[in-house]
Amino acid sequence: MSLTLSNRSANVKPSSTLAITAKAKALRAEGRDIVGFGAGEPDFATPSNICDAAIKAINDGFTKYTPASGITDLKKAVCAKFEKFNHLHYDPDQIIICNGGKHALTNIFDAIINPGDEVIIPAPYWLSYPEMVKLSDGKPVFVYSTAEQGYKVTADLIREAVTDKTKALVLNTPNNPTGMVYSRKDLEEIAALAVEKDFYVVADEMYEALIYTGEDHVSIASLGDEIYKRTITCSGLSKSYAMTGWRVGYAGAPIEITKRMSAMQSHATSNVNSIAQKAALEALTGPTDEMEKMKAEFDRRRQYMYKRLCAMPHLSCLEPEGAFYAFVDASEVCELSYKGKKIENAAGLAAILLDEFDTAVIPCQDFGYPKHIRLSYAISMEQIEKGLDRIENLMKEL
Ligand code: GLU
């Protein structure tokens, strides 16, 4: 047989966050007491009012196709949320409801990228961005930042990467994996550059509700008419409402972009599950006290984790400001040996932690930083304490 497979699919790496999380779950099922600092998935149950809305949708027979881009009530609720929380005005026909934030992002890239277009991705980055850009025939261009820069890129750093092929910049604040938050001033400078050089901004604001410093979340699209026209703002319900499995994300964009995304979605997936849409409507319009409780608990865990990490030998970390990740510099560890073998990189460290200490962490080579690890604090305090004790035991042995 001489049949071949597509070059496009050959170039895509599977998601290591999902793979590591699946492995941790499988080991747990085999009876091992694994602490999983892997995927960013809240340990909380979806709030009961949201589940009840889904059950009601089933009982009411709300189980048929909906418009491919989402039900109008949910789009209106997303608009109201954009207006109130992000100070952004979108009309319902500028909104698309997608199968999770990932699907919103793939729709966006498919809508704006032509073959060879460059998309600037500040590093560290969430590992799916480069793969998504490649799947849309674009070319990821990375701009690196350091701990001294708070792992945030400036407009000046981005400017150095801009070429006549630059189509877009991906901006993720609060950031996965660093937990860093871009200030209004940072964003104003980046917005001015996007307008001057005329490129799109793909604003991934999935963690917008999870900022612990008292600072407000700033949406770059809210900073003026010109940047609004060039920005696609995307978010979802997975993280802040503990709704990872429901798969509801959304984007607000200039109408011509939303139309393209909706047309593609109408062929690819049709609507997001009708029941999940009703659940999302309740999440966005119902009481918010559960969300606030979850956020307060994430904050408590964040402070504990940061304090413990700072006290450990060989590791360093900036205080996370948002999302639910600690981005830990393990470059010193990579120079050391364990059981006579040099650790070399974060993947080596993650393997030792999993095999010998029953602790799953994310090595960040796929996030652009091969000597860093990411720890999620979206797991219980008890698990965090146990996992950090184990990491500390290894650090003390080295
Ligand atoms: N976005 C989450 C994470 O970074 C979930 C897993 C994934 O989709 O990558 O852990």
User: What are the residue ranges spanned by the domains of the chain?
Assistant: 7-45+290-397, 64-285
Cβ atoms of 112 and 264 within 8 Å: the answer is: no
Q: How far is the CA of 17 from the centre of ligand 1 (A)?
A: 6
Cβ atoms of 234 and 108 within 8 Å: the answer is: yes
With a 6 A CB cut-off, is 17 part of the ligand 1 pocket?
A: yes
Distance CA 369, CA 318 (A): 15
| For the CA of 38, the nearest atom of ligand 1 | 10
| For the CA of 128, the nearest atom of ligand 1 | 9
Q: How far is the CA of 382 from the centre of ligand 1 (A)?
A: 22
Angle, alpha carbons 279-209-229 (nearest 5°)? 90
pLDDT tens digits, residue range 280-339? 999 999 999 999 999 999 999 999 999 999 999 999 999 999 999 999 999 999 999 999
CATH number belonging to domain 64-285: 3.40.640.10
Q: How far is the CA of 27 from the centre of ligand 1 (A)?
A: 19
Structure tokens at 384: 């965090």
pLDDT tens digits, residue range 105-157? 999 999 999 999 999 999 999 999 999 999 999 999 999 999 999 999 999 99
Probe target for ligand 1 pocket from 16, 25, 126, with the most ligand atoms within 8 Å of CB? 126
Strands 118-123 and 139-144: parallel
pLDDT tens digits, residue range 70-92? 999 999 999 999 999 999 999 99
With a 6 A CB cut-off, is 387 part of the ligand 1 pocket?
A: no
Distance CA 96, CA 111 (A): 13
pLDDT tens digits, residue range 30-55? 999 999 999 899 999 999 999 999 99
Distance CA 132, CA 119 (A): 11
Q: Quick one: what percent of the chain has pLDDT higher than 70?
A: 100
Nearest-CA residue for atom 9 of ligand 1: 17
Structure tokens at 7: 């070059």
Mean pLDDT of the chain: 97
pLDDT at 259: 98
Nearest-CA residue for atom 2 of ligand 1: 40
Q: How far is the CA of 140 from the centre of ligand 1 (A)?
A: 19
Q: How far is the CA of 39 from the centre of ligand 1 (A)?
A: 5
Q: Give the pLDDT mean for 344-371.
A: 97
Q: Residue 94's CB: how many other CB atoms inside 10 A?
A: 22
With a 6 A CB cut-off, is 172 part of the ligand 1 pocket?
A: no
Cβ atoms of 212 and 305 within 8 Å: the answer is: no
pLDDT at 269: 97
pLDDT at 11: 87
Q: Give the pLDDT mean for 209-231.
A: 98
pLDDT tens digits, residue range 245-292? 999 999 999 999 999 999 999 999 999 999 999 999 999 999 999 999
**Fold of the domain built from segment(s) 7-45+290-397:** Aspartate Aminotransferase, domain 1 (3.90.1150)
What helix, strand, coil percent values describe the chain, rounded to 5? 45, 15, 35
Q: How far is the CA of 197 from the centre of ligand 1 (A)?
A: 31
DSSP assignment string, 353-388: HHHHH-EE-EEGGGGT-TTEEEEE--S-HHHHHHHH
Q: Which of 196, 202, 129 is nearest to 156 (CA)?
A: 196
Q: At what angle do helices 274-285 and 48-59 cross, to 10 degrees?
A: 140
Structure tokens at 55: 């059950």
Amino acid at 4: T
With a 6 A CB cut-off, is 236 part of the ligand 1 pocket?
A: no
Q: How far is the CA of 244 from the centre of ligand 1 (A)?
A: 10
pLDDT tens digits, residue range 327-339? 999 999 999 999 9
Is the predicted pLDDT of residue 13 greater than 90, yes or no?
Answer: no
Structure tokens at 113: 């990228």
